[in-house]
Structure 1
Amino acid sequence: MKKETLSSDLDTFDLAILRLIQEDNTIPHRIIGEQVNLSAPSVQRRIKRMQKAGVIAAQTAVLEPSKVGLPLTILVEVELKAETGGQIDAIKADFLAAQEIQQCYYVTGEADFVLVILVGDMAEYEALTQRLFFGNANIRKFKTFVVMDRTKASGSLNI
């Protein structure tokens, strides 16, 4: 489905709705309407419009990694040997295909990519490094940071 841009900027009602649903997207439209002073049908229309425009990218459940067998969070900086368009696209495709990689950022600076990886244990991480990093001739080096405590992991935007 083609995403269209909003014809105008988000108004205060839209922002209020977004604040509420990013904290809990199961709130009934009636309750949202009561909190933002709109009718439930108006809330529904606004949400549909923001979904169609791509403002609301997805509606998902946030899982606690340790409760589903993924207690180990690892951050990885990856440095490439060469950065041509085709090589970047190939690396991105490899990273997108790896289910262990929760987030992938193509960045500026010494590293070319920063990855957030969730695995069950170090053996799983070692297997991933063999598959993705050691097996790729374009990866110069990678640096691993093992997370000791998930102090804050929020998907909410400050809007």
Structure 2
Amino acid sequence: MSKAIALDAFDRKLLERLQVDAQTPIPVLADEIGLSAPACYRRIRRLRDTGAINREVAVVHPRTLGWPLSMLVLVTMERENARTVDEMMRMLKNVPEVIEAWNVTGDHDFVVRMLARDMESYDELVRELFAADDRVRSFKTLVVIRQVKDASPVPVA
């Protein structure tokens, strides 16, 4: 979670540009937004230190590493209390095939994005994670046919 910091126009331009390509050299960024390279570097470091920039990663296509299937699993807990939710969050964080998970409101308690090598491995995993767990009332799987839009930059405006 980021600390509340005041962002000026330069900070906003930096955040907008870095969300598109975090490997842009600082002199290029500085030139594009109208700052000196040292000032640009200091601002980026402050944005990182305050948590405004959460992390910088390489986004790898799952198929590259042998994960052709992607699913969204909607999980409904038997009883939703703080202990049960915390236990489920801890468990989901430790499963490599779970690449994203959200605790949500509405008809379901969790939305889980998972990867699988094939349907058999997916079936084994959901049986272990959800079907055999007494805390889980039900789960529903949505198999992703194609991704329509990749994760997008957060709007800066």
Give the structure-1-normalised TM-score: 0.93
Q: CA deviation at 1:149?
A: 0.7
Q: Secondary structure at the match of 1:142?
A: strand
**Residue 118 (structure 2) pairs with residue 154 (structure 1):** no
2:20 aligns with 23
Runs of 4+ residues over 4 Å off in structure 1: none
**Unaligned 5+ residue runs, structure 1?**
none
CA-CA distance at 1:105 after TM superposition? 0.7
Unaligned runs of 5+ in 2: none
Alpha-carbon distance between aligned partners in 1 of 2:16 and 2:2, rounded to the nearest angstrom: 22
Q: Secondary structure at the match of 1:91?
A: helix
State the secondary structure of the residue aligned to 1:127.
helix
Among candidates 101, 105, 109, match of residue 104 of structure 1: 101
Offset at residue 5 of structure 1 (A): 2.6
Aligned partner of 2:41 among 41, 44, 61: 44
> Deviation string for 1:35-84 (max 9, x for gaps)?
00001111110111011101111110011111221111101100001011
Root mean square deviation, CA, Å: 1.4
The residue number in structure 2 matching 1:33 is 30
Displacement after TM superposition at 1:131 (Å): 1.5
Following the alignment from structure 2 to structure 1, what is the Cα–Cα distance between the partners of residues 29 and 93? Answer: 35
Deviation of the 1:4 alpha carbon: 7.2
Q: What residue is the counterpart of 1:135 in the other structure?
A: 132
